[in-house]
Amino acid sequence: MSPEPLTPVIKDLLASGGRSFSFEFMPPKTEADERRLWLAVRQLEGLAPTYGAGGSTRDRTVRVTGRIAEETTLTVVGHLTAVSHSVAELRYVIGSYAAVGVRNLLALRGDPPGDPAGAWEPHPEGFRHAAELVELIKTSGDFCVGVAAFPEGHMRSPTRESDIEFFVRKCRAGADFAITQMFFYPEDYLRLRDAVTAQGCDVPIIAGIMPIISVAGIERAAALSGARIPPELAADLHAHAEDKAAVRQIGVEYAARMCERLLAEGVPGLHFYTLNGSRATREIYELLGLGARRGSTAPITA
């Protein structure tokens, strides 16, 4: 019997000149969450994305990720965070992903549980930096590894220059690609890309896009991430805050314009933070004319 073909890896797609169009979901905590997740996955599968998610329900996350890899046409990226994990636990999760056929992993240091802005304390038997996690994954098997990038700088970095240094360190530890935190100014992404290139680093940086579907939701996400919302966009959203359909339309149209600019500037891919919904992302796809494209990916976080 011939061996099963290996699942695609993101670095090969990008190296071939293709673009990655990916969707990120939160891992389900309950059976009801899981049913909602599968509905969104099936609705988005026709757009040929990558699948992704963030959260802490580790065993369920790995199980669902493996099922998506087995039962859909999506290329799956498993997320792995160093926070609150010992090295031994991280090795176990890496092995669990390998066992379900996941070859793409996103290596994240992670935020403190309960309070993303709180003091970050490493596990006594764990890692302090994402670069260490990248090294562990790369020495644990034939994985394609992604890392996070921050167009506006990480909120914990003392300077923008130091943030670039930390990013380049992750790349030199073995990262194959990066996905940015959400942002709303294309110029911030372009400045990040230029600064990284100036350091002699050519790791592809995929742009992270957050479709706006509610005023309260996007303001909460911005407060947690430190992302700036353009004043004119904020004013437009607040003027229509009581009209959910209008808010979604404003958010979709703004995201589509930003994506058009980024694609024109040669971004290697777009990564949509879906919040386990599909409608806004599908509408952005339609505005961009991306619906007929194939060969992209989708991640889930542990």
> How many other CB atoms are found less than 10 A from the CB of residue 149?
27
Q: Return phi, psi of residue 75, to 5°.
A: -85, 125
Strands 144-149 and 177-180: parallel
- Examine the residue annotation and report whether 4 is marked as an active-site residue of this protein: no
Q: Using CA atoms, how far apart are residues 186 and 33, in angstroms rounded to an integer?
A: 33
Sign of CA dihedral 67, 127, 145, 44: positive
Q: Which residues pair with 148 in a beta bridge?
A: 179
262: its two tokens = 């980024």
Candidate list 4, 24, 71, 260, residue with the active-site label: 24
248: its two tokens = 């979604």
List active site positions: 24
